Amino acid sequence: MSRSTQIRHLVADLEKAADVPVDAAYGERGRRWELSWSNGPTPDTMKTHLTKLAQRAGLDPALFDLSRIVQDNALALQAVRYLRAAPTGEDPYAYESALAWEIERAARDTDHPDRPLDEREAALAARLLAAEGGYTTPRSLADRLLGEGLAALLDDGLEQERPGERAWAAEYLTARYAATLTTPHAAGPADHAQAWRRHLLTAPPGALLAAAAADPDAPAAVRLAALTLAPAVRAELEAALAEADAAELGLITALRADGSAWAQIGRALGTTRQGAAQRADRLTARTPPPPVNASLTGR
């Protein structure tokens, strides 16, 4: 089998392994083959595939140079993904160069950087690239996203009522009330308006429910969205209450084990010794026992 035929077979196998088209060109001056592809695996991943396949074919991997082109659609997708996952707080993106570097790094270090994780990511990336006119750079993307944020890429879908869909309810209410919320954001100290505009991070369900309930001019869509979040808020409160009950019962149990009198415990709880004992009984009745360690039971 001729060398050129071996190379063709190698490239075909490499395309299957990497799941991307690969171009092969022979450089007469350097007497080496250059393998190039768009998006697809990182050069390190491709080198791993190449080394394995070349050795199997009896070819020296050192005969090949690898070159990957990261296209504009991949840059846009990685920009969207990075901002959706980025933490809020003290804004590290005060300068576009910092965000541009993160976008470039994400595209460089990601296998198949053009493949979206979900439909929302794909739609946002497509709109971002269209807003850029179909051609972009990391710095241009950073400049646009710092100025407008991901929220500017949303279509009018939030205005379409989807009661029962929690993701819609949280986004719809956050878009409406983010600028007026004063509660701390779960992801950090950044205000809700910036967290939503830049990262599409929604506000806590409890804050959104309270804002909608306090809005005398709320339309039906807002009230339906708030009702959609109500079960999640209730579940969160019930979980917090159960955690507080367990902690309180643990403290009472530890104090009693250390010899503290019911009268002392009652004073701490703002009740009588009898009230403290009754409180402990009620907590015991509604607090589930801790899980049994299987290693201690021999199972």
| Of 51-60, 109-118, 179-188, the least confident | 179-188
pLDDT at 95: 66
User: Would you say residue 91 has pLDDT above 70?
Assistant: no
Q: What's the pLDDT at 122? A: 95
pLDDT of residue 109: 96
Q: How confident is the model at residue 3 (pLDDT cuts 50, 70, 90)?
A: confident
Structure tokens at 128: 């971002």
Kindly tell me if the per-residue pLDDT of 44 is higher than 70.
yes
What is the predicted pLDDT for the residue at 27?
76
**What is the location of CATH 3.30.1340 in the chain?**
3-69
pLDDT surpassing 90 at residue 78: yes
Does residue 84 have a pLDDT over 70? yes
CATH 3.30.1340 fits 3-69, yes or no: yes
Q: Which structure tokens are listed for 112?
A: 């198949």
pLDDT at residue number 19: 96
Mean pLDDT of the chain: 88
Least confident residue range of 26-30, 55-59, 293-297 = 293-297
Average of pLDDT values for 71-83?
A: 95
Reported as a single tens digit per residue, the pLDDT across 231-259 is: 999 998 999 999 999 999 999 999 999 99
How big is the chain by its Cα radius of gyration, in Å? 29
pLDDT at position 30: 60
pTM exceeds 0.85, yes or no: no
Q: Is 200 left (phi over 0), alpha (psi -120 to 50) or beta?
A: left
> Three-state SS string across the chain, please?
CCHHHHHHHHHHHHHHHHCCCCEEEEECCCCEEEEEEECCCCHHHHHHHHHHHHHHHCCCHHHEEEEEECCHHHHHHHHHHHHHHCCCCCCCCCCHHHHHHHHHHHHHHCCCCCCCCCHHHHHHHHHHHHHCCCCCCHHHHHHHHHHHCHHHHCCHHHHCCCCCCHHHHHHHHHHHHHHHCCCCECCECCCHHHHHHHHCCCCCHHHHHHHHHCCCCCCHHHHHHHHHHHHHHHHHHHHHHHHHHHHHHHHHHHHHHCCCCHHHHHHHHCCCHHHHHHHHHHHHHHCCCCCCCHHHHCC
CA distance 149 to 137: 16
pLDDT above 80: residue 14: yes
User: In whole angstroms, what is the distance from residue 83 CA to residue 289 CA?
Assistant: 42
Q: In this model, does residue 189 exceed pLDDT 50?
A: no
At residue 296, the pLDDT reads 47
Q: 138 vs 85, which has greater pLDDT?
A: 138
pLDDT above 70 for 186? no
| pLDDT score, position 287 | 78
CA dihedral 190, 191, 197, 199 (to 10 degrees): 30
